[in-house]
Chains A and B, each alone.
Chain A
Amino acid sequence: MIGSLAASRPDGARLALGLGCLGALALPFVSVRASRIGAPEPRTLVEILPPGRLLAVLALSAAVLLALVLLRAPWARVLLSLLALAGVLAGIGLAAGPLAAEAGPYARVAPGAGAWTLLALLALFFTEAASRLALGPAARLGLGLVILAGLAALLASDLLAPLSIMVEYRNRAASFRSEAAQHLLLAGGSFAAAMVVGVPLGLLAARRARLAPPLLGALTAIQTVPSMAMFGLMILPLGWLAAHAPPAAALGIRGIGAAPALLALFLYALLPIVGHTREGLRGVPGAILESADAMGLDARQRLWRVEIPLALPVLLTGARIVLVQNIGLATVGALIGAGGFGVFVFQGLGQTAADLVLLGALPPVALAMLAALLMDALIACVPGPAR
């Protein structure tokens, strides 16, 4: 059984990953701090575990790594790498509990360099095996949701509770939820607005050849303004609007807060949407347009029945870029009081509280990956030739 599943010669890349994991086991697995902003004291597995258990953990790890290197069936490696990832996360939690208890009430325990490296290398094992499966977008989305559910279950259990990042979360559970909602509002709202404005603009740019270079040039220039400055500069027009147009102020438009952040994200989002819409429309083959005209489709029918459906995959690729980009950039909005996960990032940076930074930085990463998976699945749903 094992013989038929295992490769005769180990794959070079996987062998390197496996050796990397072995090395990572020797690095500090967790770090302990006397307080949330104290200096980290690294602890290796050797220091944490009694000799008997250490031997068991090392033996188990070696067996799993050997299997990850040698197993031939990709699905088996996908499964095993996910189990290993869950195991490392659980291990971090299990190690953190007693360490936190013994180091005092203000002590914090966080994953150490070894744990992070292990997680990263195991994620690579997973990616390698998953890419071998050559899953379709729907299957990828399914797998993504399963992993997400697993992660949620892990977070809901008390296993990870002793970790510093979870302590930070518990101290701010209410504001975490409201900032999460605000983050989604910023990213989603600006995305929707940019689609509504950007698609017609892209259409216009595709139709009027002379309009495209100045329009795309201006939108490219906007992209070069660094996000912090862009958010800051949006204060100016909106502050003026609030001061001079009472209805605007009544609507809650102020120089500082969500409105300038939405405007900045909207401006950043325009280039990918306008550019991709234009590219998609221009990519419709001339023979097809000629056929449509010759068959007597009028301009509106040609646009809605032929051009837009055929441009849709490219257009949605632009939308995917924007959604992923906006979820990340919305983090910066916190600098001008717009809220979102950036609040925790910048608070954490200000307090040199690394785990608070993580609390703010990890959710946008997860959100962006989920958005990418969702958009990929959506793009795959568009009918027509395989792309």
Chain B
Amino acid sequence: MIEIDGLSKNFGAERAVADVSLRLETGTITAVVGTSGSGKSTLMRMINRLIEPDAGTVRIDGVDTREIPLTELRRSIGYVIQDHGLFPHWSVARNIGAVPALLGWPREEIAARVEELMRLLRLDPERLGPRYPHELSGGQAQRVGVARALAARPRMMLMDEPFGALDPVIRQEARAELVAIQRALGATILIVTHDMAEAMALGDQIAVMDGGRLAQAGTPAEIVLRPATPLVRALIGESERGFRHLALLPVAAALTPGAAEGEALPAGATLADALSRMIWTGARRLPVAAADGHGAGVVALEDILAAGRGAP
């Protein structure tokens, strides 16, 4: 668990981060959202002390980060940034193995770990390992950046706009991949983004920063249903709010017993998927399949709309 407590930072007269407190539960993804200049990157950089806070503390599993030697702290936290920051004069394999090498792992162990990570991130170790970063595509370079951050089995990962340089299709894939890896490894991740949709898609918890202050922190549903400030409301997008919420809810949330005509929705679908299907087919009731393939029940338009409003 990471506890951020009363963290503040000024650059000269400019207030970058003011008295922010936040808890990151172990094994969850927290997405910090805000406009540029909101202090979200500064907040993140204070966790691995790339920036020293003026006031406040950060505790990792109860230990104040100021009590951990700086290099040790940083080597235990994975770090991914938008421009991936790969060392251009090192091969891909050497980039990925950099932190284990700093930690003095044996050579064979580093090689094995690099290969394991490259396979995990769908990078061909034989072909891409000896290449240099400038020979990679944007998506490959980004995955190498993630692999490098994961190399020494860090307790947590900090990611600053990690998908910012990718095109929309690859970005979708990269997000899904990140969630899969996070679930598999049980890592604690803090991700900084300006894109609320990305935060909604990734975050177990969303923290909205505004002018250096924490405007609101909560689950995606809480943020959508009860935006605390006009800025949070604006970031969600007034016209998309309903859909945003429905996209967070599984069909199970509005399931009633019964049967209906037409192709069944899969059990993993969201209410947004159901509504979209209704718009195109004109149906007001859709059958839902259970995980075993049998009919689980139906969703009705009025129930979807009620669930979208957050009504019980």
Residues of A contacting B39 with CB < 8 Å?
none
Partner of A306 from the list B70, B74, B83, B87 (CB cut-off 8 Å) is B87
Partner of B89 from the list A285, A291, A298, A383 (CB cut-off 8 Å) is A383
Say whether B258 faces chain A, with CB atoms less than 8 Å apart: no
Q: Are B74 and A384 in contact (CB under 8 A)?
A: no
Type the 1/0 row for A363-387, where 1 means its CB is closer than 8 Å to any CB of B.
Answer: 0000000000000000000111110
Type the 1/0 row for B72-98, where 1 means its CB is closer than 8 Å to any CB of A.
Answer: 111111010111111111000000001
Residues of B contacting A293 with CB < 8 Å?
50, 74
Q: How far is the CB of A176 from chain B (nearest CB, A)?
A: 44
Say whether B133 faces chain A, with CB atoms less than 8 Å apart: yes
Q: Are B88 and A385 in contact (CB under 8 A)?
A: yes
Residues of B contacting A385 with CB < 8 Å?
88-89, 132-134
Say whether A290 faces chain B, with CB atoms less than 8 Å apart: yes
Q: Are A297 and B79 in contact (CB under 8 A)?
A: no
Q: Are A294 and B132 in contact (CB under 8 A)?
A: no
Q: Are B79 and A291 in contact (CB under 8 A)?
A: yes
- State the CA gap A309–B85 with chains docked (Å): 15
Say whether B112 faces chain A, with CB atoms less than 8 Å apart: no
Of chain B, the residue at the smallest CB distance from A305 is B87
Type the 1/0 row for A320-337, where 1 means its CB is closer than 8 Å to any CB of B.
Answer: 000000000000000000
Q: Are A291 and B71 in contact (CB under 8 A)?
A: no
Q: Are B74 and A296 in contact (CB under 8 A)?
A: yes
Say whether A287 faces chain B, with CB atoms less than 8 Å apart: yes
Say whether B55 faces chain A, with CB atoms less than 8 Å apart: no
Within B134-152, which residues are at the interface with A (CB < 8 Å)? 134, 148
Q: Are B89 and A309 in contact (CB under 8 A)?
A: yes
Residues of B contacting A386 with CB < 8 Å?
134
Q: Are B102 and A285 in contact (CB under 8 A)?
A: no
Q: Are A287 and B132 in contact (CB under 8 A)?
A: no
Residues of B contacting A384 with CB < 8 Å?
88-89, 132
Say whether B48 faces chain A, with CB atoms less than 8 Å apart: yes
Of chain A, the residue at the smallest CB distance from B91 is A383
Say whether A310 faces chain B, with CB atoms less than 8 Å apart: yes
- State the CA gap A295–B74 with chains docked (Å): 6
Q: Are B83 and A287 in contact (CB under 8 A)?
A: yes
Q: Are B102 and A291 in contact (CB under 8 A)?
A: no
- State the CA gap A81–B85 with chains docked (Å): 48
Say whether B32 faces chain A, with CB atoms less than 8 Å apart: no
Q: Are B88 and A294 in contact (CB under 8 A)?
A: no
Say whether B99 faces chain A, with CB atoms less than 8 Å apart: yes
Residues of A contacting B72 with CB < 8 Å?
296
Given A290-B50, A290-B81, A301-B102, also A296-B88 (CB < 8 A): no
- State the CA gap A384–B77 with chains docked (Å): 27
Among B79, B88, B132, B158, find the residue whose CB has the most chain A CB atoms closer than 10 A. Answer: B88
Q: Are B99 and A310 in contact (CB under 8 A)?
A: no
Say whether A153 faces chain B, with CB atoms less than 8 Å apart: no
Among A294, A306, A385, find the residue whose CB has the most chain B CB atoms closer than 10 A. Answer: A294
Of chain B, the residue at the smallest CB distance from A383 is B89
Residues of A contacting B99 with CB < 8 Å?
295-296
- State the CA gap A386–B134 with chains docked (Å): 9
Say whether A225 faces chain B, with CB atoms less than 8 Å apart: no
- State the CA gap A295–B79 with chains docked (Å): 7
- State the CA gap A293–B84 with chains docked (Å): 13
- State the CA gap A374–B5 with chains docked (Å): 58
Q: How far is the CB of A284 from chain B (nearest CB, A)?
A: 10
Query: Top 5 nearest A-B pairs by Cβ distance?
Result: A291-B85, A296-B75, A294-B79, A296-B74, A384-B89
Interface residues of A (CB under 8 A from B): 285, 287-288, 290-298, 301, 306, 309-310, 382-386
A-B contact pairs, 30 of them (CB 8 A): A287-B83, A287-B85, A288-B87, A288-B88, A291-B79, A291-B84, A291-B85, A291-B86, A291-B87, A292-B87, A294-B79, A294-B158, A295-B98, A295-B102, A296-B71, A296-B72, A296-B74, A296-B75, A296-B76, A296-B99, A296-B102, A297-B71, A298-B70, A310-B89, A383-B89, A383-B132, A385-B89, A385-B133, A385-B134, A386-B134
* 15 new A-B contacts at CB < 8 Å, known A295-B99, A296-B70, A383-B132: A285-B83, A287-B85, A288-B85, A291-B84, A291-B86, A292-B87, A295-B74, A296-B74, A296-B99, A297-B102, A298-B71, A306-B87, A310-B88, A385-B88, A385-B133
